[in-house]
């Protein structure tokens, strides 16, 4: 098993990812998933043992555990660490948009699946907290509350996935993804009052 991954199994996962992202977990039926995947209704039970377990399988398959672990273990100074974290997370949003939308829904709903998400995503946010804490200790960042600052930085990084909702009032002057990412990097650095002249890049 792997690579072609039983084919049907992988088709079911891809269909589930797409439909969950579009309609939500509750709003998507096993029947729909199977129709989209061109598979029989009974095969969700056969391959995953139910809709619930399929959700877990979705993360095991598409969440970039290895990338996160590699980033978490890397040793960087706080400034370049936060910069790289902002970049990597924002880029992930364009490589796996459906998974990100699904994540966002489950978090908003505080769903029973939320611990599956936490288990997968928290290592990177703990790394962010540590970078901020270290940066303040080193005197390169300046802020009052670590909690509130972490939420603020996360907002800068993660909120852009709500873009679709605001589309009707956007004017369309931001098509360059990499430029947008660098704008966010700079915005965050200014917000943190980072001494970019100490260690720069």
Partner DNA sequence: GTCTATAAGCCGATAGAC
Partner DNA sequence: GTCTATCGGCTTATAGAC
Contact between 42 and DNA per CB under 7 A: yes
Cα–Cα distance measured from residue 165 to residue 170, given in angstroms and rounded to the nearest whole number: 10
In whole angstroms, what separates CA 117 from the centre of its chain? 10
User: Least distance to DNA from the beta carbon of 14, Å?
Assistant: 15
What are the tokens at 34?
């199977």
Task: Determine if 5 is a binding residue for DNA (CB under 7 A).
Answer: no
State the nearest-atom distance from the C-beta of 40 to DNA, in Å: 3
Interacting residues with DNA between 89 and 108 (CB under 7 A): none
Q: Please give the residues from 87 up to 146 whose contact with a copy of itself meets the rule CB under 8 A.
A: 101, 104-105, 107-111, 114, 118, 122, 125-126, 129, 143-146
Which residue number, 59 or 184, has a Cβ lying nearer to a copy of itself?
184
What phi and psi values does residue 27 have, to the nearest 5 degrees? -80, 0
Residue 84 CA from chain centroid, whole number: 15
Shortest distance, position 61 Cβ to DNA, whole Å = 16
Show the DSSP H helices in 24-162 as ranges.
30-37, 43-48, 51-62, 65-73, 78-95, 97-109, 114-138, 146-158
Please state at what angle helix 97-109 crosses helix 8-23, rounded to 10 degrees.
Answer: 60
Asked if residue 169 binds a copy of itself (CB under 8 A), the reply is yes
Under the binding rule (CB under 8 A), the answer on residue 174 touching a copy of itself is yes
Distance CA 94, CA 71 (A): 18
Residue ranges that bind DNA, judged by CB under 7 A: 6, 8, 28-32, 39-46, 49-52
Residue ranges that bind a copy of itself, judged by CB under 8 A: 22-24, 26-27, 101, 104-105, 107-111, 114, 118, 122, 125-126, 129, 143-152, 154-160, 162-166, 168-174, 179-180, 183-184, 187-188, 190-191, 193
């Amino acid at each position: 098993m792997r690579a072609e991954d039983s084919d049907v199994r992988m088709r079911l996962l891809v269909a589930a990812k797409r439909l969950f992202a579009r309609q939500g977990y509750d709003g998507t039926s096993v029947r729909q998933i199977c129709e989209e995947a061109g598979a029989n209704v009974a095969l969700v039970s056969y391959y995953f043992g139910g809709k619930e377990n399929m959700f877990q399988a979705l993360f095991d398959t598409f969440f970039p555990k290895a990338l996160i672990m590699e980033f978490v273990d890397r040793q960087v100074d706080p400034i370049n660490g936060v910069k790289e974290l902002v970049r990597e997370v924002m880029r992930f949003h364009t490589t796996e948009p459906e998974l990100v939308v699904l994540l966002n829904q489950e978090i908003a709903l505080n769903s029973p699946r939320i611990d599956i998400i936490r288990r997968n995503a928290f290592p990177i946010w703990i790394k962010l907290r540590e970078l901020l804490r270290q940066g303040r200790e080193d005197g390169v960042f300046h802020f009052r509350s670590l909690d509130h600052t972490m939420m603020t930085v996360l907002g800068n990084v993660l909120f852009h996935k709500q873009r679709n909702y605001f589309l009707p009032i956007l004017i369309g002057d931001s098509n360059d993804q990499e430029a947008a990412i660098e704008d966010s990097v700079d915005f965050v650095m200014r917000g943190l009052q980072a001494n970019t002249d100490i260690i720069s890049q």
